Homo-oligomer: A and B are copies of this chain.
Amino acid sequence: MQIYFTFEPREDLRKPLVAEFPEVNFVFDVKLREEQLAKADIVFTYGEDLTAENIALANNLQWIFVASAGVEKIPAKAIAERGIFVSNVRGIHKKPMAESVLAHILALKRGLPFIYEQQKKGEWNKKTSLSELNGSTALVIGPGAIGAEIGRILQAFGVYTIGCNRSGQSVESMDETHMIADLHKHLPKADIVISMLPSTDETKYLLTYEHFESMKDTAIFMNFGRGNVVKETELVRALQNKLIGHAVLDVFEVEPLPNESELWKLDNVTISPHFSSHSSRYVERALEIFKPNLKKWVAGERNLENKIDLLRGY
């Protein structure tokens, strides 16, 4: 059995993996090479290097392990036609991402951008208004594993949490949950609006200028899901017209965010280069999810965790 890694984990992570599975032939590469993919039974990838063309060459391939939460870049149709099993690292991002979301909220409430600026100027200056997170209301659109972790921590800070999902069925760590169809009714209550939505046909351009009109003019809008949940032009217009207080964006319609984007010119936005899930402990975590599943696979079991439904896209 050949497992092909299309990136190279650190040596201290590779060694124990190889030792744990002596029956498996591991190939680690710095990037995907087709001649190696052609021989692989299992591929371990970040999910951005597979194409319908190279899948066609991978005659032995039975399982694609995607070390990412989003799988929208894999050639789903070509993979589905071949009946290749796909699983991902669902849940791996929840801690680092929840920490990033909280970092940004608290930084804005407690004046960190101001503190850093004054320090750079060498000025002792208290003249800014600091506010507080406790007592606020947060609305999470699409609360899955990451949203639940964000909700859990927000609740610890004394924040009231509202979830909006497709069904309106209650989810973990949300004080109340409603249907996304009723979003406009609940946006006016929120001090913080966080989109965690994946990219699907249903979520594309789901948020419109009118949704920003429904928000408080002091609201913080955060997009940590996928960029195309809102047209960049509408988001820019909402920010230019100060419909909300601030936006914190980790994802964008086009990534990397183009130099000519109006977003770079606004001062009521924070631009994070789609890396809020990054962590020096990321690969370690991905392997923690991979290993027990590989053990099952080697034993002939096929009921692996985090199976991706290629038609739904998550």
- Given the contacts A131-B280, A270-B119, A99 and B109 also touching, CB distance less than 8 Å: yes
- Given the contacts A104-B112, A107-B107, A107-B112, A131 and B279 also touching, CB distance less than 8 Å: yes
Contact with B along A112-136 (1 / 0, CB 8 A): 1101101100101110011111100
Among B96, B157, B275, which residue has its beta carbon within 8 angstroms of that of A153?
B157
On A, residues with C-beta under 8 Å from B are 95-96, 99-100, 102-104, 106-107, 109-113, 115-116, 118-119, 122, 124-126, 129-134, 152-153, 156-158, 255-257, 259, 264, 270-276, 278-281
The answer to whether B115 and A272 have CB atoms under 8 Å apart is yes
* Cα distance A152–B153 in the bound complex, in angstroms: 11
* Cα distance A246–B172 in the bound complex, in angstroms: 36
The answer to whether B118 and A273 have CB atoms under 8 Å apart is yes
The 4 closest A-B pairs by CB, nearest first: A103-B106, A156-B156, A124-B256, A103-B110
* Cα distance A124–B305 in the bound complex, in angstroms: 34
Could you show 23 A-B contacts with beta carbons less than 8 Å apart?
A95-B132, A99-B133, A100-B110, A100-B130, A103-B110, A104-B112, A106-B106, A106-B107, A111-B275, A112-B112, A115-B270, A115-B271, A115-B272, A118-B271, A124-B255, A124-B256, A129-B280, A131-B280, A131-B281, A132-B280, A152-B156, A153-B157, A156-B156
Nearest to A119 among chain B residues (CB) is B271
Residues on the B chain within 8 Å of A118, using CB: 271, 273
Residues on the B chain within 8 Å of A156, using CB: 152-153, 156
The answer to whether A279 and B106 have CB atoms under 8 Å apart is no
Nearest Cβ in chain B — how far from A173, in angstroms? 11
* Cα distance A107–B105 in the bound complex, in angstroms: 10
- Given the contacts A106-B106, A113-B116, A118-B273, A278 and B99 also touching, CB distance less than 8 Å: no
Residues on the B chain within 8 Å of A134, using CB: 95, 99
9 additional A-B pairs beyond A132-B281, A153-B157, beta carbons within 8 Å, are: A99-B134, A100-B130, A103-B110, A110-B276, A119-B264, A124-B271, A126-B273, A126-B278, A152-B156
Among B102, B152, B275, B280, which residue has its beta carbon within 8 angstroms of that of A106?
B102
* Cα distance A65–B190 in the bound complex, in angstroms: 36
Nearest Cβ in chain B — how far from A110, in angstroms? 4
The answer to whether A124 and B257 have CB atoms under 8 Å apart is yes
- Given the contacts A103-B107, A115-B272, A130 and B264 also touching, CB distance less than 8 Å: no
